Amino acid sequence: MSCIFCKIIAGEIPSYKVYEDKHTLAFLDIGPVNPGHTLVVPKKHFANIEEAGEETLCRVMKTVKKVGLSLKKNLGAVGYNILEANDPEAGQSVPHLHFHLIPRLPGDGLTFWPQKKYATGEAEAVLKKINMIK
Ligand code: AMP
Ligand code: ZN
């Protein structure tokens, strides 16, 4: 077993556990954006969101919600961001499905991605490719 998160789940390497149930684990990210930055993982190994079944995703999301509420209630976060890097090309460095919960603190200065504008006809062309509503 080479997966670092599987090792954390198995207790082979230490972690700061935030929450645990039968199917999911939440633990502090070792390199936090803000204190309290938490990772939520399924205990079973799935590389990414596409590999995981719906039941697993529901369980993980339930834990994400619990942790988010705690960040607000107990840490005083004014909000939080939920982030999942899906695939190495998207910045996923650990190939075990995980959701980042990043607590937001007043004035933390975090900004996210730049936004572009669609050129004329571009939105329609993209939509033609990805629209699944038939
Ligand atoms: P990502 O880049 O989205 O795959 O996120 C992986 C995250 O795992 C990074 O934010 C790392 O800081 C975090 N990480 C890596 N190793 C550990 C560890 N042993 N304990 C806690 N967090 C870790
Ligand atoms: Zn794993």
- Give distance in angstroms: CA of 79 to centre of ligand 2: 28
Q: Is 75 in the pocket of ligand 1 (CB under 6 A)?
A: no
Q: Is 37 a catalytic residue?
A: no
Nearest atom (ligand 1) to Cα of 83: 3
Average pLDDT, integer, range 80-106: 97
What mean pLDDT is reported for the chain?
A: 97
Domains in the chain: ranges and CATH: 4-130 (3.30.428.10)
pTM of the model: 0.96
Q: Give tens-digit pLDDT for 94-116.
A: 999 999 999 999 899 999 899 99
DSSP 30: S
Q: Which ligand is nearest to the CA of 29?
A: 1
Q: What pLDDT score does 112 carry?
A: 85
pLDDT recorded at residue 134: 77
Per-residue pLDDT for 1 more than 80?
no
Spatial distance between the Cα atoms of 104 and 72, rounded to a whole number of angstroms: 9
Closest listed ligand to the CA of 5: 2
Q: In residues, how long is the chain?
A: 134
Distance of alpha carbon 47 from the chain centroid: 13
